[in-house]
Amino acid sequence: MKKREEVRTLPEDGLERLIGLVRSRGYCLVGPTLRDGAIVYDEISAVSDLPAGWTDEQEAGRYRVKAREDAAAFGYNLGPHSWKRFLYPPRTQLWQTTPTGEATLQPVGAAARAVQELDFIGGSTTPDRPFAFLGVRACELSAVAIQDRVLMGGAFPDPHYQSRRESALFIAVNCSQAAATCFCVSMGTGPEVTGGFDIVLTELLEDGSPAYLARAGSAAGESLLAQLEHGPASPAELDRSRVQLDQTAGSMRRELAADEVRGLLAANLEHPRWDDVASRCLACTNCTMVCPTCFCSTVEDHTSLDGTATRTRSWDSCFSLDFSYVHGGSVRASTRARYRQWLTHKLSTWHDQFDSSGCVGCGRCIAWCPVGIDLTEEVRAIASEPGDRQETTS
């Protein structure tokens, strides 16, 4: 067996040393931390920043943190943040103009107009420091792979995303429990971390205190683990980690028929359920903001008094009215059309556009919907009474 694939036991202070090591290599280390009643992702510098002893309880329209009876640092599932906040930030400056040369008044056409040379200066595409992410879940790695295809898999890779993505280090963790909102098993994205990581950790509890197994997935991960003293994991430890993953997978209560849903939704664009969900949906955009794969954006231009223009890209949502505006009005004026756009995009047309589903089954949109709309339930409702649409003639 190659050394890299070996599962090792970290020493007692292993996680603390790993954190120090990563930071000493110049990374901005981002990990889970408890803030304002939620576990969010932010820069961390020590194990004490992690939400040790806390977990999250989630249901449709409900999220709350709760104290655990042990000191697990990764004993929660997912909060409102995802890593897209760092790889594809909510706001990015794309460019700025500087007036090069003097603005001169030249007689052009009938009227005298200011003729100014335009110069566009692209915004910085590299982060100040490369990111290292700690505590990345299996479904989140799948979400990153999905955004990779959207933002750098086509003819015009987004240079901002690409530089952040390619310099990032992923320290993943296998889930030791599932939230009630999780459905990664049916989406084929979890709970076990199988690829796309530099290091994957498994948190095992010994008398309520955490111990860690670690495995490298890349040369960068290997070179970090090589600096920590460790031995190979024992057969008993490997067994426990397997049982823990099986229990996590087995406890998942929600599911989505990932194979059938693509065709199902495409064939049911006029299903009455769209009216039903539209009567509940507030078009608040929460689901799209918390979703780790949603990538829709808008741009805003600002011009300052000295004539310098700045273009900023920011997250947007297919739930906003302006999103589908063309001259004369919005194409998707009703909430029905906007919810239909969102769900069919996630689960059906995403396959056509980017060769994968747009959903990894993380359940964030379920928990953070203020009215508790659950996409798995909406799909089930449509599947239970599929219409026979399509082939309408014009």
Partner 1 sequence: MAAGGAQRPDPLVPIPVTVRRRRRESPDTWSLQLECAGPWPPSLPGQFNMLYAPGVGEAAISISGEPGRNGLLMHTIRSVGAVSRALGDLRPGQQLGLRGPFGVGWPVGEEAEGRDVLLVAGGLGLAPLRPALRALLDRRRSLGALALVYGTRGPPDLLFRGELARWRRDRRLQCHVTVDQAGPEWQGEIGVVTRLLPRLVFRPGNALALLCGPEIMMRRTAAALRDQGVPESAIFLSMERNMKCALGQCGRCQFGPSLICRDGPVLRYDQVRPLLVVREI
Ligand X SMILES: Cc1cc2nc3c(=O)[nH]c(=O)nc-3n(C[C@H](O)[C@H](O)[C@H](O)COP(=O)(O)OP(=O)(O)OC[C@H]3O[C@@H](n4cnc5c(N)ncnc54)[C@H](O)[C@@H]3O)c2cc1C
- Binding interface with ligand SF4 (CB under 6 A): 281-287, 290-293, 319, 346, 359-365, 369-371, 373
Positive or negative, the Cα torsion across 328, 329, 331, 334? negative
Of the two residues 44 and 290, which places its CB atom closer to partner 1 in the complex? 290
Is residue 326 near ligand X by the rule CB under 6 A?
A: yes
Spatial separation of the C-alpha atoms in residues 147 and 260, rounded to whole Å: 23
- Taking the complex as a whole, the smallest distance from the CB of residue 167 to partner 1 amounts, in Å, to 17
Give residues with Cβ within 8 angstroms of 49, minimum separation 6. Answer: 31, 33
Tell the burial category of 161 from Cβ atoms under 10 Å away from its Cβ (0-12, 13-18, 19+). buried
- Judged by beta carbon distances under 5 to 8 A according to partner kind, the member of ligand X, ligand SF4, partner 1, none in contact with residue 241 is none
Of the two residues 254 and 338, which places its CB atom closer to partner 1 in the complex? 338
Spatial separation of the C-alpha atoms in residues 286 and 274, rounded to whole Å: 18
Stretch that binds partner 1, among 26-34, 168-176, 216-224, 262-270 (CB under 8 A): 262-270
Is residue 333 near ligand X by the rule CB under 6 A?
A: no
106-125 residues in contact with partner 1 (CB under 8 A) are 106, 108-109, 111, 113, 115-122, 125
Is residue 207 near partner 1 by the rule CB under 8 A?
A: no
What b/e readout covers 26-39, taking b as 16+ CB neighbours within 10 angstroms? ebbbbbbbbeeebb
Q: What is the DSSP secondary-structure string of 22-62? A: HHHTT-EEEEEEEETTEEEEEE--SGGGS-TTEEEEEETTE
Is residue 120 near ligand X by the rule CB under 6 A?
A: no
- CB atoms under 10 Å from CB of 101, counted, come to 9
Of the two residues 221 and 292, which places its CB atom closer to ligand SF4 in the complex? 292
Of the two residues 81 and 346, which places its CB atom closer to ligand SF4 in the complex? 346
* 203, 72 contact by CB (below 8 A): yes
Terminal-to-terminal C-alpha distance of the chain = 62
Q: Which of 325, 333, 355, 389 binds ligand X (CB under 6 A)?
A: 325
* 312, 92 contact by CB (below 8 A): yes
Stretch that binds partner 1, among 9-17, 58-66, 138-146, 339-347 (CB under 8 A): 339-347
Give residues with Cβ within 8 angstroms of 368, minimum separation 6. Answer: 63, 80, 286, 287, 290
- Judged by beta carbon distances under 5 to 8 A according to partner kind, the member of ligand X, ligand SF4, partner 1, none in contact with residue 380 is none
Of the two residues 284 and 296, which places its CB atom closer to ligand SF4 in the complex? 284
Is residue 1 near ligand X by the rule CB under 6 A?
A: no
49-108 residues in contact with partner 1 (CB under 8 A) are 94-95, 97, 106, 108
CA distance to 208, 240, 320, per residue, from 69 (Å) = 8, 19, 42
Question: How many positions of this chain bind ligand X (CB under 6 A)?
Answer: 3
Is residue 309 near partner 1 by the rule CB under 8 A?
A: yes
* 380, 271 contact by CB (below 8 A): no
Amino acid at 378: E
* 203, 277 contact by CB (below 8 A): no
Instruction: Look at residue 81 and give its three-state secondary structure.
Output: coil
- Taking the complex as a whole, the smallest distance from the CB of residue 374 to partner 1 amounts, in Å, to 23
- Taking the complex as a whole, the smallest distance from the CB of residue 181 to partner 1 amounts, in Å, to 24
User: How are beta strands 91-97 and 309-315 bridged, if at all?
Assistant: antiparallel
- Taking the complex as a whole, the smallest distance from the CB of residue 109 to ligand X amounts, in Å, to 20
Instruction: Look at residue 151 and give its three-state secondary structure.
Output: helix
Is residue 327 near ligand X by the rule CB under 6 A?
A: yes
358-387 residues in contact with partner 1 (CB under 8 A) are none
Q: What residues make contact with ligand X under the rule CB under 6 A?
A: 325-327
Q: What residues make contact with partner 1 under the rule CB under 8 A?
A: 94-95, 97, 106, 108-109, 111, 113, 115-122, 125, 150-151, 154-156, 158-160, 266, 269-270, 295-299, 301, 303, 307, 309, 313, 316, 318, 323-327, 331-334, 336-337, 341, 344-345, 349, 352-353, 390-394
